[in-house]
Amino acid sequence: MDMIRGGVTAAKGFEAAGAETGVKYKDRKDMAVIYSQVPCRQAGVFTSNVVKAAPVLWDKNVIDYSPFVQAVVINSGIANACTGVLGYECCKKTVECAAKELDIPVDSVLVASTGVIGMQIPMEKITAGIEKLAGMKSSELEAGTMAAEAIMTTDTVSKEAAIRFEIDGKTVTVGGMCKGSGMIHPNMCTMLGFITTDIAISKELLQDALSTDVKDTFNMISVDGDTSTNDTLIVLANGMAGNEEIISKDDNYYKFLEALHIIDETLAKKMAGDGEGATALFETKVIHAGSKEDARVLSKSVICSSLTKAAIFGHDANWGRILCALGYSGVKFDPENIELFFEGKSGRMQIYKDGAAVDYSEEEATKILSEPEVRVLVDMKMGEYEACAWGCDLTYDYVKINADYRS
């Protein structure tokens, strides 16, 4: 498997575009389209929030019941959530406009929004935007990058990843993009993520692969503990790689799952590391847990702890907060029996054992905690399960960004 340059246009037959349309922002791209030259199998996972944005309600239907999908229209700046009947009407008009401009069926168009909750989308700007995007779309890698830039809100960098591998002599590509920086605590999947692939695979197995993999990737990141109203992760597979269609969980399925996992994990980590105001990616790996679920809950509890996140920002080896966060996670364990390490470029450093701190160097610990990727390793010594979760530090800038996000 080889990581390659590119995003949603890396796989055969996919086109994209990103453009300034003035829906919300001035002087920056705020609408994107993804288009496949041929019909795609579709799969999706969505927010578990009871309050679901209009596009989420719309897409769930399309993912479940449409025979195929051929395009996605995305806008940033306005989430189209808590917008009542008008919000759902907006999705309908968006899709009708895109179907006309791209000459594809109305029920083959997905729509996604991200941004401020509660504000109505100016429909005429969306319509004009779709016309613009339809004229611009291309299969160049740069077009994918422009789309990735157009879906950003408080993100500081665009987020793409692509991978290439072979199945039965055919080259298969999986590429994706995502956005997300605040209100990130996905439960089912992340803010907005789009993955395209030219693999031929049945719709059932595509959904199965996606639903399986998000549990260890997008669902294991958190920026602020707030599960969004808009979380959406879509995979489109157009079959243009020319492999024999995958219809059972054979070796080829697991090869695809491995590639999908690498793309999902790469994108998820990019999102966590670019959390609002973040200066560091904060990873916690829990090993030797009693169950997979325990490992997930423990690692996520640590990366979600506001106090631990603030300590990471201060490069302060305040490991007691990590112990505390493990302790209130809901998982039962004996604090006397676990071990704690920091991991940096210079190697692994033990911090805690037998119920108390070991004799470690504060200076060395501060050095490790000053790296752009801070890693904590927790050995539960209870079983054989492990999990990894990713977050970021809690900074002044997080507060600044969110104290006045709407203006």
3-state secondary structure of 19: strand
Question: What's the closest the beta carbon of residue 305 comes to its own copies, in angstroms?
Answer: 6
How many Å from the N-terminal Cα to the C-terminal Cα in the chain? 44
Q: Is 232 in the site for its own copies (CB under 8 A)?
A: no
Signed CA dihedral, 12, 13, 14, 20: sign only: positive
| 48 versus 156: smaller Cβ distance to its own copies | 48
| 1 versus 57: smaller Cβ distance to its own copies | 57
Question: Looking at 86, 92, 142, 254, which residue binds its own copies (CB under 8 A)?
Answer: 86
Joined tokens for residue 87: 């919000």
Q: Is 169 in the site for its own copies (CB under 8 A)?
A: no
Which of 9, 114, 127, 190 does the annotation list as catalytic? Answer: 190
Joined tokens for residue 400: 């600044």
Residue 190 is a catalytic residue: yes
CA-derived radius of gyration, the chain: 22
| 83 versus 127: smaller Cβ distance to its own copies | 83
Q: Could you tell me which stretch among 181-189, 267-275, 286-294, 370-378 binds its own copies (CB under 8 A)?
A: 181-189
Q: Is 226 in the site for its own copies (CB under 8 A)?
A: yes
Contacts of 53 (CB under 8 A, 6+ apart): 47, 79, 80, 81, 82, 83, 87, 113, 117, 229, 230
Q: Is 123 in the site for its own copies (CB under 8 A)?
A: no
Binding residues among 279-308 for its own copies as defined by CB under 8 A: 304-307
The identity of residue 154, as a single letter, is T
Question: Looking at 229, 232, 243, 299, which residue binds its own copies (CB under 8 A)?
Answer: 229
Question: What's the closest the beta carbon of residue 333 comes to its own copies, in angstroms?
Answer: 6
In order of 149, 161, 174, the CA distances from 145 in angstroms are 6, 10, 15
Q: Where are the beta strands (DSSP E) in 263-384?
A: 281-289, 339-344, 347-353, 356-357, 373-379
Question: What's the closest the beta carbon of residue 338 comes to its own copies, in angstroms?
Answer: 9
CA distance 178 to 147: 10
Question: Looking at 9, 21, 49, 94, which residue binds its own copies (CB under 8 A)?
Answer: 49
CA distance 74 to 183: 18
Which residues are marked as active site? 190
Contact residues toward its own copies (CB under 8 A) are: 48-52, 79, 81-87, 116-118, 182-183, 185, 187, 224-229, 304-307, 310-311, 313-314, 316, 318-321, 323-329, 331-333, 335-336, 352, 354-357, 394-396, 398-407
